[in-house]
Amino acid sequence: MSSKVRRKPRIAVFKFASCDGCQLSLLDAEDELLGVAGALDIAYFPEASSAMVKGPYDIGLVEGSITTHHDAQRIQEVRRQCKTLITIGACATAGGIQALRNWKDVDEFIRIVYATPKYINTLKLSTPIAEHVPVDFELRGCPINKHQLIELITATLAGRKPNVPTYSVCMECKRKGNVCIAVAQGVPCLGPVTHAGCGALCPSFDRGCYGCYGPMESPNTESLSSQLRILGQNNAEITRAFRSFNAWSWQFRKASEETERT
């Protein structure tokens, strides 16, 4: 390796069940895109390019969750092809909104949407990538923050730890100087248990955080559930609050199953 001419690191972008929004974040980095393309060889990115270079790749970005037999096999091959595998977004990291099927009868779901159920081939569960293969870094968010993505790619290339804080949205709110909407206005807010990264968007827009970045490092969901009850939410509402884009993350899953039982 050492004697070879240094080539640009190769990056690939793979999609599983998802909305395409997280990979679009790369194209939404309008100011950085041509710079990124200069530093990296974008070898496989079907949403942006019809030139598809075969692996192996230095960095693989994976968007989406595993919902079919075919995809469960495909992720194994993707892992083999990628030196560093990074999952981007709530689908890849926590199963996504489509993981709401995990509490239901998927055959009934198929009948609701499709006239001829036998044409549809799907798994009973929507699961995150890390349930199938080892993952080197999980970037959270529904969608991810494009600045965090650029930081993560830069850090990976430099071989350093990315600066992606794991504290809660509350910290971002404090830094922004927001008045706490849960305390001051009694608005139910998932900020205390939710991973930072969005920049405390929802409280800045006069609404409670709805948890799209998933659980923070060590969330006290039990305490938050009691607070939400004090603010007037019933157990069905609290269960739904934990069951959105990161419903299948084990922390939010545990929290929703506890409130569902009570």
- In the complex, the residues that contact other proteins under the rule CB under 8 A are 15-25, 27-28, 30-31, 33-34, 37, 42, 45-52, 67-68, 71, 96-98, 100-101, 104, 106, 108-110, 112-116, 119-120, 122, 126, 142-143, 145, 198, 201-202, 204-207, 210, 212, 237, 240, 244-245
Q: Is 242 in contact with 211 (CB distance < 8 Å)?
A: yes
Supply the minimum distance, in Å, between the C-beta of residue 193 and other proteins.
Answer: 18
Closest by Cα among 26, 22, 24, 106 to 64? 22
Supply the minimum distance, in Å, between the C-beta of residue 25 and other proteins.
Answer: 7
Q: Which is nearer to other proteins, 30 or 250 (CB)?
A: 30
CA of residue 174 relative to chain centroid, distance: 24
How many CB atoms sit inside 10 A of residue 246's CB?
30
Q: Which is nearer to other proteins, 121 or 223 (CB)?
A: 121
Q: Which is nearer to other proteins, 51 or 183 (CB)?
A: 51
Supply the minimum distance, in Å, between the C-beta of residue 148 and other proteins.
Answer: 12
Three-class SS of residue 240?
helix
Supply the minimum distance, in Å, between the C-beta of residue 135 and other proteins.
Answer: 20
Sign, CA torsion 256/143/175/217: positive
CA of residue 34 relative to chain centroid, distance: 25
Q: Which is nearer to other proteins, 80 or 176 (CB)?
A: 176
Q: Which is nearer to other proteins, 41 or 220 (CB)?
A: 41
CA of residue 19 relative to chain centroid, distance: 11
- Indicate the angle between helix axes 21-28 and 146-158, nearest 10 degrees: 80
Supply the minimum distance, in Å, between the C-beta of residue 1 and other proteins.
Answer: 27
Supply the minimum distance, in Å, between the C-beta of residue 216 and other proteins.
Answer: 19
Q: Which is nearer to other proteins, 65 or 251 (CB)?
A: 65
Three-class SS of residue 15?
strand
Query: Facing residues of 12 across strands?
Result: 44, 60
